[in-house]
C-alpha cells in the first residue's frame, strides 16, 4: 500500500492491545441495584414485565442485598410498595411504613459494605399515583409536595438511608430537603437529584413493579423528551441547590443529555438504565435475537462512555459477577 501509513487497526490487533487502550472502564463499584420491597410479603413475587426481577419480602430483600454486596456492587436503591395508599402518601414518612422499615433492615445488614439508598417520591404511596399531592383542581401542587418530601427525607434519614434519590421532579426539592436534613443534624446524608428525568415510555414495566395507581401521565413535572437544553438546565439548578450527585434518566435514549450534563457540572453524574431498557434486552435475549451478556455489558459500557460515573441497573449484581470473572 502506498498511502501514508495511518493504520488505525494497529490499536485493535489483539485482545491485550485493545484492553490496554480502552478508554472507558466498567467496574462493579460503579453499579447500583434498584430493589423493590412490598409490604406483607413472606416470599418474593416475580414481576412479569421484568423477567428476573421481583418484589421482595424483608427477608428476601436482605438476601439479595447481601448478594449484591458480595459481588462488589456500589449501592442498592430501595423502592417501597405499601399495602395501603391515600391522597397524601402517609406511608412514605411513617417510621413503620414499608420503605422505612426495610431501610432499617438493609442499613443494619449491608450498610457498611455498600451505600444504602432510598427513592424519595410519593408516587408509590399515593392512591392517585402522582409524585406529589394534588391541589383542589387536580393539578400536582409543587409547594405542598415539598413539605411532604421534607418529612419523608427525615424519616428515611432516621431509618438509616445514606443517600436519598429525589425522583419527584418538583421545583425546589433539593434545597428544601437539604435544609430540612441539616436542621436535624443529618449533614452527611447524600442527595442524588434525578435532575433530568424525562416523561418516558420506557418506565412502562416499572409501573407493574410498584403496582402504580397512575392514570394519565407526568408531563407537568417530568421533562419533555424533545428537550436537551432544559435537561442540562435542571442539572445546573439542582447542583446549585446543593445536590451531591445529579442523574439523567432514562439512560439509553438520552445519552446526548448525559454527555452534555457531564461536560457542564463538576459533581458526579449518574444515569438510570430503566425498566423498559431492561425489558427490551431481556425480551430480545429470550427470543434468541441478541447475545444477552454481550448486550448488557455493551449497554452499560456505553452509558459510562456517554458520561455516567455510575449506573443504576437491574443487572447490577449479575454484571458485577461477569466483570469479576
Ligand atoms: C418515580 C419513579 C419511576 C421510576 C423510578 N422512580 C417511575 C415514573 O417516574 O413514572 C422508573 C424506573 C424504571 O422504569 O426502571 N418514583
Per-residue pLDDT, 202: 97
Mutate to test the pocket of ligand 1, among 117, 132, 170, 203 (most ligand atoms within 8 A of CB): 203
pTM here is 0.97
Output the pLDDT for position 248: 98
Given the residues 88, 197, 218, 262, the one annotated as active site:
197
Q: How far apart are CA 20 and CA 14, in angstroms?
A: 10
- Say yes or no: CB of residue 167 within 6 Å of ligand 1: yes
| Cis bond upstream, residue 250 (ω within 30) | yes
Looking only at the bridges linking them, the beta strands covering 45-46 and 54-56 are antiparallel
User: Which pLDDT value is given to residue 1?
Assistant: 59
> And the C-alpha cell for 177?
430537603
Give, for 158, the enclosing helix (H) or strand (E): helix 142-159
Handedness of CA 249, 255, 258, 264 (dihedral sign): negative
197 is catalytic: yes
Q: List, for the chain, all residue ranges whose pLDDT scores fall below the cut of 70.
A: 1
Amino acid at each position: 500500500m502506498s498511502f501514508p501509513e495511518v493504520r488505525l487497526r494497529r490499536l485493535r490487533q489483539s485482545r491485550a492491545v485493545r484492553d490496554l487502550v480502552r478508554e472507558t472502564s466498567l467496574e462493579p463499584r460503579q453499579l447500583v441495584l434498584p430493589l423493590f420491597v412490598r409490604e406483607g410479603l413472606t416470599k418474593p413475587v416475580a414481576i412479569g414485565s421484568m423477567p428476573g426481577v421481583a418484589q421482595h419480602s424483608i427477608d428476601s430483600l436482605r438476601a439479595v442485598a447481601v448478594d449484591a454486596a458480595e459481588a462488589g456492587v456500589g449501592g442498592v436503591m430501595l423502592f417501597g410498595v405499601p399495602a395501603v395508599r391515600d391522597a397524601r402518601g402517609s406511608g412514605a414518612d411513617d417510621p413503620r411504613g414499608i420503605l422505612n422499615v426495610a431501610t432499617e433492615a438493609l442499613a443494619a445488614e449491608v450498610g457498611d459494605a455498600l451505600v444504602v439508598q432510598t427513592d424519595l417520591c410519593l408516587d408509590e404511596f399515593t392512591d392517585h399515583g402522582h409524585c406529589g399531592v394534588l391541589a383542589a383542581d387536580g393539578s400536582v401542587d409543587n409547594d405542598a409536595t415539598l413539605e411532604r418530601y421534607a418529612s419523608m427525607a427525615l424519616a428515611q434519614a432516621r431509618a438509616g438511608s445514606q443517600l436519598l434519590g429525589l425522583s419527584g421532579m418538583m421545583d425546589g426539592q433539593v434545597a428544601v430537603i437539604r435544609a430540612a436534613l441539616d436542621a436535624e443534624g443529618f449533614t452527611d446524608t447524600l442527595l442524588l437529584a434525578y435532575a433530568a428525568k424525562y416523561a418516558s415510555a420506557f418506565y412502562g414495566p416499572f409501573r407493574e413493579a410498584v403496582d402504580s395507581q397512575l392514570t394519565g401521565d407526568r408531563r407537568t413535572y417530568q421533562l419533555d423528551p424533545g428537550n436537551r437544553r432544559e435537561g442540562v438546565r435542571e442539572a445546573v439548578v439542582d447542583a446549585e441547590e446543593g445536590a451531591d450527585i445529579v442523574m439523567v434518566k432514562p439512560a439509553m435514549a438520552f445519552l446526548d443529555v448525559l454527555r452534555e450534563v457531564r461536560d457542564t457540572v463538576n459533581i458526579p453524574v449518574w444515569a438510570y438504565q430503566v425498566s423498559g431498557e431492561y425489558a427490551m434486552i431481556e425480551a430480545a435475549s429470550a427470543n434468541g435475537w441478541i447475545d444477552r451478556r454481550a448486550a448488557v455489558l455493551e449497554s452499560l459500557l456505553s452509558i459510562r462512555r456517554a458520561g455516567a460515573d455510575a449506573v443504576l441497573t437491574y443487572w447490577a449484581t449479575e454484571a458485577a459477577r461477569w466483570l469479576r470473572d
